[in-house]
A and B are shown apart, each in its own frame.
Chain A
Amino acid sequence: MAELTAFAYQPGVSILHRLDVRMKLALVAAASLISLRLDFPGIGLMALPLLSVAAGCRRSLRIQAGELRWIGLLLAFVFSARVLSTDGTTVLSVLALDITGEGLREGALVCLRLSLVFLVGTLLMATTRSTEIKTGVQWFLQPLPLVPAERVGTMLGLLVRFIPVIFEEVSRASDAQRARAVENRRNPLRRAVKLGIPIMSRVFERSDRLALAMEARCYSERRTQPSLRAALKDWVLFGLSCGWLVVLLAV
C-alpha cells in the first residue's frame, strides 16, 4: 500500500507548500490558461521554473514521469490526431497517410502545452491538502449567488482525495493481471475491458468503505476549516509569479 502517486499530497515545507491556497489556485488557473497560448520558447521559459519548483518539492522527475505514463497515452493519441489532421508540406507517407511538417509541429506544441497543464496540476495536488483546496474553492465561490459553495468545495475536496485511491486500485488490478500473464492477450480492447471492469468494481467498493469510515467520524459539509492567511511573503511570491506570467504572454 506504500503507493506514491503523482496526484497524492506529499508533506513538505517548500515554498509552494507554504503559499496561501487562494493564491495557489489563482496561479494554477492563470498558468494553465496561459500555457495553452504559448509557443515553443514560451513553453521552455515556463517549464524551467516549474521543473525547478518540482525539484524543490523533492519530487523525483523520473518517478513522476513513470506515474504519468497513462497521460502519456493520451498525449500520444492527441499527437497522432494532430499529425494526421493538419494540412501542410508532406514529409513522410505511411500507408496512404500523409504526415506533414506542420502537423508534427502542431502535435508537439499541443502535447507540450498539455504536459505543462498536467505539471501545474500535479504540483498543486502534491503541495496542497484536499481540505485546503476545498477551503480555497469555497472562498472563491462564496460571493457568487445561487452557487452552493460549501457543497462544491466538499465535492472537489473529495474528488481530489479519491484520485490517488483510483490510481492505487488501477495499479493493484494491473499487477494482479500481469501476474496472470495478461500480456499474452494481444487484443488491446479485450485487455482494456478485462482491466476496466475489476477496477470500476474495486474503486466503488473502496469508495464505499472510505465513505463509511468518514461517516463514522461525523463527516459533514460544515466542519472546522483550515485558516486562510496571506502573509507578506505570499503576496511577494504571488506578485513575482504574476509578473512572470505576463512576461510569458509577451513572449
Chain B
Amino acid sequence: MSAIIEMDHLTHRFADGTVGLDGVTLEIEAGAFVVIAGANGSGKTTLLRHLNGLLLPTSGSVRVAGVCVQENPMKSRVLVGMVFQDADSQIVGETVRDDVAFGPENLRLDRVEIDRRVGEALSATGLIHLADKRPHLLSGGEKRRLAIAGILAMRPRVIVFDEPFANLDYPGVRQVLDQILQQHRAGCTIIVTTHDLEKVLAHADRLIFMREGRIEGDGPPPALIARAESFGVRHPRAVHLGVEALSWLN
C-alpha cells in the first residue's frame, strides 16, 4: 500500500523557543492502525496538529494523500478528521444533529447531502435516537461518539484520535474503541495517541514511541512493547503476564 501520510524532517518550535518536534520523518500507509505513545509533553499532540494544518512546521514538510498541508490546509482538514482529547470543547452545535452537521455545512454541501451525511454518521455511531438532544447533556462516552460522528460526516480518509479514552468509564472506553475499530474496518487510516496502551494495543499494527519531540521507537507492537516504560508509558498487563495483548472488547 502507498503512504497516505509523509512527514519529512518535520520540526516545530513554539513561540517561547520550546522545541515541540525535532526532525520527525515518518510515513504511514493507507489503512494502517497506528498508536503513538509517549509521556506528557513528548510531542504527540503537536505531531497530530501538523496533519491538518492546525500547526504549521517551522521547517520540514507534511503531505497527506499527496497534498502539501502548508499549501492547502483546508484540503488537509477534509482528508484528516481530528477527534480532540476534550470532547466538551469540540462541541459546536446546539443539538447533536446540529453538531454533526457543522462540518458538512462548512464544506458548503447542499442541505439534502448534509442531512444524508448527518443521518449516516448518527446511525454509524448509535446516536440517532439522541439527535435532538443538547450535546452537553450526553454522557462522556456519548460525547466522544458525537465528536466521531462530526468527523465521519466530513468523510475523511484519516482519523486521528488524541487520547480518546481519557476521562471515560469502562463502558465509555468500549463504545469509543468499538467506533475506532468500525472506522478502521471501513478503510480509514487510524492514528491514536495515548499514554495508556492497555486499551488499544491489541488492535494496532504499528507502535510509535515519542520522547522530547523525536520518534525513538517505531515498529510492530510485539517487538517494541517491552521498552514501553523507558518512554514513560506503563506496560500493558499482558506484558507482565507474558501473554499477547488482549482487546477490551472481548
Contact = CB atoms under 8 A, between A and B. Distances in A.
Interface stretch (A57-65, A72-80, A211-219): A211-219
A24 interface: no
Given A209-B84, A217-B154, A218-B106, A1 B89 contact: no
Interface string B61-104: 00000000000001001100010101011101111001000111
Given A220-B106, A224-B105, A224-B108, A9 B94 contact: yes
Contact of A10 (B78, B106, B108, B134): B134
Interface in B97-135: 98, 102-111, 114, 132-134
B154 A218 contact: yes
Contacts of B154: 217-218
A210 B87 CA distance: 10
B184 interface: no
B159 to A, nearest CB: 12
A220 B102 CA distance: 11
Nearest to B106: A218
Interface string A1-42: 111100011110000000000000000000000000000000
B71 to A, nearest CB: 16
Contacts of A138: none
Given A213-B89, A217-B77, A11 B106 contact: no
Interface residues of B, number: 35
B248 to A, nearest CB: 25
A8 B94 contact: yes
A65 B117 CA distance: 40
B78 to A, nearest CB: 7
Contacts of B103: 217-218
A78 to B, nearest CB: 31
Interface string A220-250: 1011110100000000000000000000000
B92 A11 contact: no
A133 to B, nearest CB: 11
Contact of B98 (A2, A8, A131, A206): A131
Nearest to A217: B103
Given A218-B103, A219-B106, A220-B106, A1 B136 contact: yes
A129 B136 CA distance: 15
Contact of A209 (B78, B86, B109): B86
Contacts of B109: 224
Contacts of B150: 217
A210 B82 CA distance: 13
Interface in B129-166: 132-134, 136-137, 150-151, 154
A224 B117 CA distance: 14
B92 A210 contact: yes
Contacts of B89: 206, 209-210, 213
A100 interface: no
A3 B136 contact: yes
A161 B77 CA distance: 23
A10, A222, A224, A227, most chain B CB atoms within 10 A:
A224
A218 B107 contact: yes
Contact of B54 (A2, A11, A129, A215): A215
Nearest to A5: B136
- Quick one: which of A131, A206, A217 has the most chain B CB within 10 A? A217
A213 B105 contact: no
B162 to A, nearest CB: 11
A11 B136 contact: no
A93 B216 CA distance: 79
Contact of A216 (B77, B114, B134): B77
B105 A216 contact: no
B84 A223 contact: no
A15 to B, nearest CB: 17
A130 interface: yes
Interface of A: 1-4, 8-11, 129-131, 161, 206, 209-210, 212-220, 222-225, 227
17 contacts: A1-B136, A9-B94, A9-B95, A10-B134, A11-B133, A209-B86, A210-B90, A210-B92, A213-B90, A213-B92, A214-B92, A216-B82, A218-B78, A218-B154, A222-B108, A224-B106, A224-B108
Interface of B: 52, 54, 74, 77-78, 82, 84, 86, 88-90, 92-95, 98, 102-111, 114, 132-134, 136-137, 150-151, 154
Given A209-B89, A217-B102, 10 more contacts: A1-B136, A209-B84, A212-B54, A213-B92, A215-B77, A216-B52, A218-B74, A219-B102, A224-B106, A224-B114
